[in-house]
Structures are given as C-alpha cells and as structure tokens.
Structure 1
Amino acid sequence: MASVKQFQVTFDCENPERVARFWCEILGYQVPPPPAGFASWSDYEHAQPADRRGAWFSCSDPTGVGPRLFFQRVPEGKVVKNRVHLDVRVGTGLTGAERLAVLTAECARLVALGASIVLVQEADGENESCITLQDVEGNEFCLD
C-alpha cells in the first residue's frame, strides 16, 4: 500500500482571501500566480459568476516543504472550538524565559496583523510555554 506524501489543510471561512493572506504573513507562504489567461487574481475573480467570486483562495510554502493551505467560503460562521488546529513552531529548541520571549515577540507581530490572544500558558516545570491565538476569523492556533 502506498503512503500519502502530500496533503493540504482546508479552512472553512467567510472571506477566503483575507484569511489566506493572514496565514501567508504568519508562515511566509505565497499566493500562487493567477490561473492561466488572467493577469491578476482580481481579473480572475471578475470573470467568475457573481455567486462564485471570492469562493476560495489558496497559498503555498515557497520551499515546497509545507502543505498547501486552501480556504473555502462557507455560509455558516464559526461556532465552537476547532477540533484540529495548527501549531506554529517558533520556539523549537528553546526553553524557559528565552522561549517565552520569542513566543511573546511573535505573538505581538501576529496581533498587529489581526490575530487575537486566547491564552498564554507559561512553563510550569512539566510543560514549556505556549500561546493560543485566533486568526482573523476566529480559528485557533498555537505558537509553540
């Protein structure tokens, strides 16, 4: 049996382009070029039927290592906590005050982009520090 080597992470959201561009800023991802025959994503969107404009957007890791992120518009808003979330690994290999300082600095950058803080968990002797945030549409993720 063959094993899966690639996957994408899909977000349900209200405004796919806004959420995608937020995640580009967090992860250093890039928006792919517009589909063939279109000079820009705006041109592509204007060519779509009115009810399909803004229905989806995507971004990818420019190195090809990370998964593609796909954002699709859904009619309902987010109601409860995510069952799956992304851990953004900015403190890997760091401990204690040094780790918390790196997480706090990245948290400040992301809040300036529109994220909101949910919970700051400081190291307790058993677990290292972690900061839980929400993206621009309320999807939880952790700075780890």
Structure 2
Amino acid sequence: MASVKKFQVTFDCAQPERVALFWCQVLGYVVPSPPDPQGAWAACVDPAGVGPRLFFQRVPEGKTVKNRLHLDVRTATGLVGEERVKVLEAECARLIALGATRVRLLPADGEDEACLVMQDVEGNEFCLD
C-alpha cells in the first residue's frame, strides 16, 4: 500500500501575488515568509499545516479553456435544501467582494446537493460546495 504524500496545487497565472492573496482570503491561508521578491511566483499555506500548499506561477499565455481540475471550497457541508443555498449565496457574496465572479448555481438534482460555480480573479473555475 502506498503511503500518503503531501502535495501542493499549482496554478498557472499572470499575476501570482494577486491570485495568491485572493485564495488566502477565500481559505484563511497565509503567505509564507519571506515573500518572493521577483514576483514570478507566490504561494499560500494553511496556517495549521493541514491543507495543501497552493503555488501560483507566472506563465506568458492566458487561460483559454475550462479547467480540467478545480477546487471545491467546502462551505455548506452537511446542509441541504434552502438552508444550503442560503449559506452558499452568503459565501458567494463575500467572494464577489474579493474579486470572484459568479458563474451559475447548480441546483440539487435528487442525487447531488446544490453548489455554486465561480471563477477566481483570473478566471479559474472553482465550486462552493
């Protein structure tokens, strides 16, 4: 059996520091010291050391297609129905104020509960779940 490995999630982006600061605010993460002086990359980490490190690297090309991988931000775990949607909408409003974009609400369908599809400050999709 393979042992569990630590991992980081890497984002290609145009403005690493801007995207890192956005995700710090979304997740309650912090920027590790010392920050990158060149601006070619930035990172944010879970201050409790539990969640994965997020790494943001500058690339010359812009985003052109839908992400093949996305983060699910677990906002309404265990909630259902209108109570769940209310919590998702409140978090959506908070993230829009930070620069996120709301894409669409995926309503409950009998198999899955509702979730909200959003984009970060550079258009990377993520879900409020």
Q: TM-score, normalised by structure 2?
A: 0.95
Please point out which of 126, 131, 138 is paired with 2:116.
131
Aligned length: 129
CA distance, structure 1, for counterparts of residue 59 and residue 85 of structure 2: 36
Is the aligned partner of 1:91 residue 2:80?
no
Is the aligned partner of 1:15 residue 2:12?
no
CA RMSD of aligned residues (A): 1.2
Aligned with 1:141: secondary structure? strand
Deviations along 1:30-82, whole A, 9 cap, x unmatched?
Answer: 01111xxxxxx4xx62xxxxxxx210000100111100000000000000000
Q: How does 1:1-144 map to 2 (within 5 A)?
A: 2-34=2-34, 41=35, 45=37, 53-144=38-129
Aligned with 1:132: secondary structure? strand
Structure 2: unaligned runs, 5 residues or longer:
none
Structure (1 or 2) with the larger CA radius of gyration: 1
CA distance, structure 1, for counterparts of residue 22 and residue 107 of structure 2: 26
Task: Give aligned-pair identity as a percent.
Answer: 71
CA distance, structure 1, for counterparts of residue 69 and residue 99 of structure 2: 21
Q: Which segments of structure 1 move beyond 6 Å, counting only runs of 4 or more? A: none
CA distance, structure 1, for counterparts of residue 112 and residue 128 of structure 2: 14
Deviations along 1:94-137, whole A, 9 cap, x unmatched?
Answer: 00000000000000000010000111112233321100000000
Q: Counterpart of 1:133 in structure 2: which amino acid? A: M
Deviations along 1:11-41, whole A, 9 cap, x unmatched?
Answer: 000000000000000000001111xxxxxx4
Match in the other structure for 1:49:
none
Structure 1: unaligned runs, 5 residues or longer:
35-40, 46-52
CA distance, structure 1, for counterparts of residue 121 and residue 61 of structure 2: 16
CA distance, structure 2, for counterparts of residue 31 and residue 97 of structure 1: 35
